[in-house]
Amino acid sequence: MRRVGVLALQGDVREHIAMLETLGASVIKVRRASDLENLDGLIIPGGESTTISHLLDTSGVREPLRDLIVGGFPVLGTCAGLIMLANEVLDGRADQWSFEALDVAVRRNGYGRQIASFETPVILGNDVVPGVFIRAPRIERWGEEVEVIAWHDHGEGPHPVLVRQGAAWGCSFHPELTNNVVLHGLFLDALAEALR
Ligand code: GLN
């Protein structure tokens, strides 16, 4: 059984745990550095990136998690979690920081106020999955090393909403708020692959 951590400092932790457990993973809530021991991968949930970055500092999780990520530890960030993994954060607050694991620029709340939250189909390989976007970060630049795994077409042509660079995955929507497990399944498959 795969041991997957969910960063449990703030955000929609419970929903990720439920989805991972549905898929048969053993889930550990990560609140302190010692919780990172013996994990196969970690999910950084959606919530508020300014708060998550602050709590990563005060909890002492920031440094050990950064070391793991630099060493190729599998990590999936959704929404605020994507912001935590991006190497460029546009419209960020001056005191927030990120792990810089993905060569992307993301704009916080980048879909504008009018459509701060919306649902739109996301094309993920051969699947179409529901994309729930809540004050979502918009991926505005992605580097050559970045693989685009899923797109949406929200009135502006295909636009990336799920990217991967090595073992780091970032997603601008909230799969955990639907009952579609495709993305969590892909992440767990990648963990199994990494363990082989
Ligand atoms: N706008 C939030 C942020 O900047 C992200 C929103 C979310 O995770 N649903 O962190």
Annotated catalytic residue: which of 79, 152, 154, 184?
79
Whether 176 sits among the annotated catalytic residues: the reply is: yes
Contact 108 CB / ligand 1 (< 6 Å) = yes
What per-residue confidence (pLDDT) applies to 115? 65
Q: Across the beta sheet with 86-90, what order do the strands follow?
A: 86-90, 102-107, 138-142
* Ligand 1 pocket test, candidate residues 49, 54, 88, 119, most atoms within 8 A of CB: 49
Q: Quote the domain boundaries for residue 180.
A: 3-195
Which CATH number belongs to the domain containing residue 145 in this structure?
A: 3.40.50.880
Q: Which amino acid is at 170?
A: G
Contact 16 CB / ligand 1 (< 6 Å) = no
Q: Give me the number of domains the chain comprises.
A: 1
**Cβ neighbours around 26 below 10 Å, total:** 12
Whether 154 sits among the annotated catalytic residues: the reply is: no
Which atom of ligand 1 lies nearest, measured to the CA of 174? 9
Q: Partners of 43 in the beta sheet?
A: 6, 76
Helix 13-22 vs helix 182-195: angle between axes, to the nearest 10 degrees? Answer: 70
Which atom of ligand 1 lies nearest, measured to the CA of 134? 9
| C-alpha span between 180 and 3 (Å, rounded) | 21
Using one digit for the tens of pLDDT, what is the confidence trace for 50-89? 999 999 999 999 999 999 999 999 999 999 999 999 999 9
Using one digit for the tens of pLDDT, what is the confidence trace for 128-172? 999 999 999 999 999 999 999 999 987 778 899 999 999 999 999
* Statement: residue 29 has pLDDT above 70: yes
| C-alpha span between 56 and 43 (Å, rounded) | 14
* Ligand 1 pocket test, candidate residues 83, 88, 91, 118, most atoms within 8 A of CB: 83
What per-residue confidence (pLDDT) applies to 156? 78
Instruction: Read off the pTM.
Output: 0.96
The answer to whether 162 and 128 are in contact (CB under 8 A) is: no
Residue with CA at minimum distance from ligand 1 atom 5: 80
